[in-house]
């Protein structure tokens, strides 16, 4: 019995899937696999990979430039697809690295597309999830393009909290966070030294503390105002299909 809890929690908030639809989803999940932290499970340019659903742990997707610079596109938490876009587009446009040791369930995209024919609401759910992922990448673009370092850090931590809340792993007091300052730097287009300085600034201003793997919101409301955080792009208000 493969545990689909985080995925079902996430999709269920947006497209109410019936038991029959959920059991189709369960048949797609071929096998459970484990990967260790820091070793890529998908490589940029790879073309024969499977897609995965993250069951436990955190991962990140990133692109490497030829000069060795790295841009982290997004982090994945339990319930998120890993590499779905890559499979649809034949060639992976990014690499995926486990941030922690992770457990995933493998999904063959031919099976997924076949399942759409019988359970179109599942197609809608997946399209919704892909749209939400895109909305988050758009916010990261705005982060890097137009927000200053402190605002983008604040916005990023608030988004993570909202995503974790949906799968029952965080709230407005804070969340457990396995990311290092190097992850934050590569995601936000900052140096590690700059990340350090910005985190100190936010802590000294009494808004948020990130220490020993724990993000604590010292003043959630003020932090949200500071970051101009409007969570509506994450669409956690009500389901698309009932």
Q: Enumerate binding residues for a second copy (CB under 8 A).
A: 45, 63, 65-66, 69-71, 73, 84-85, 88-91, 93-94, 113, 116-117, 120-121, 123-124, 126-128, 130-135, 137-142, 144-147, 189, 228, 232-233, 235, 237-238, 240-241
- To the nearest whole angstrom, how small is the minimum distance from the Cβ of residue 29 to a second copy? 19
- To the nearest whole angstrom, how small is the minimum distance from the Cβ of residue 100 to a second copy? 23
Q: In the complex with a second copy, which residue's Cβ is closer, 217 or 229?
A: 229
Q: Write the DSSP assignment of the chain as a string of letters.
A: ----HHHHHHHHTTB---HHHHHHHHHHEEEEEEE-TTS-SB-TT--S--EEEEEES-EEEEEE-TTS-EEEEEEE-TT-EESHHHHHTSS-SSEEEESS-EEEEEE-HHHHHHHHHH-HHHHHHHHHHHHHHHHHHHHHHHHHHHS-HHHHHHHHHHHHHHHHHHTTS-BTTEEE----HHHHHHHHT--HHHHHHHHHHHHHTTSEEEETTEEEESSHHHHHHHTT--GGGG--SS-SB-
- To the nearest whole angstrom, how small is the minimum distance from the Cβ of residue 61 to a second copy? 8
- To the nearest whole angstrom, how small is the minimum distance from the Cβ of residue 216 to a second copy? 26
Q: Are 51 and 101 in contact (CB under 8 A)?
A: no
- To the nearest whole angstrom, how small is the minimum distance from the Cβ of residue 76 to a second copy? 14
Q: In the complex with a second copy, which residue's Cβ is closer, 63 or 200?
A: 63
Q: In the complex with a second copy, which residue's Cβ is closer, 11 or 73?
A: 73
Q: In the complex with a second copy, which residue's Cβ is closer, 33 or 233?
A: 233
Q: In the complex with a second copy, which residue's Cβ is closer, 41 or 155?
A: 155
Q: In the complex with a second copy, which residue's Cβ is closer, 29 or 188?
A: 188
DSSP-derived pairing of the beta strands 51-56 and 102-107: antiparallel
- To the nearest whole angstrom, how small is the minimum distance from the Cβ of residue 37 to a second copy? 23
């Amino acid at each position: 019995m493969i545990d689909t809890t985080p995925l079902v929690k996430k999709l269920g908030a947006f497209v109410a899937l019936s038991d029959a639809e959920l059991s189709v989803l369960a048949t797609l999940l071929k096998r459970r696999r484990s990967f260790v932290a820091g070793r890529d499970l998908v490589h940029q340019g790879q073309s024969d990979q499977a897609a995965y659903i993250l069951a436990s742990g955190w991962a990140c997707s990133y692109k490497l430039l030829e000069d060795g610079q790295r841009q982290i596109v997004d982090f994945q938490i339990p319930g998120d697809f890993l590499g779905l876009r890559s499979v649809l587009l034949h060639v992976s446009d990014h690499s995926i690295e486990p941030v922690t040791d992770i457990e995933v369930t493998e999904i063959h995209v031919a099976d997924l597309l076949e399942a759409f024919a019988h359970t179109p609401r599942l197609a809608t759910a997946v399209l919704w999830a892909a749209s939400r992922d895109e909305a988050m990448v758009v916010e990261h673009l705005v982060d890097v393009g137009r927000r200053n370092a402190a605002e983008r850090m604040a916005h990023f931590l608030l988004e993570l909290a909202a995503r974790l809340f949906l799968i029952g792993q965080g709230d407005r007091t804070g969340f457990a966070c396995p990311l290092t300052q190097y992850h934050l730097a590569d995601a936000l287009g900052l140096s590690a030294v700059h990340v350090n300085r910005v985190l100190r600034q936010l802590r000294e201003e009494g808004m948020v503390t990130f220490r020993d793997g724990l993000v604590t919101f010292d003043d959630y409301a003020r932090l949200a105002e500071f970051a101009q955080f409007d969570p509506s792009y994450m669409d956690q208000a009500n389901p698309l299909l009932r």
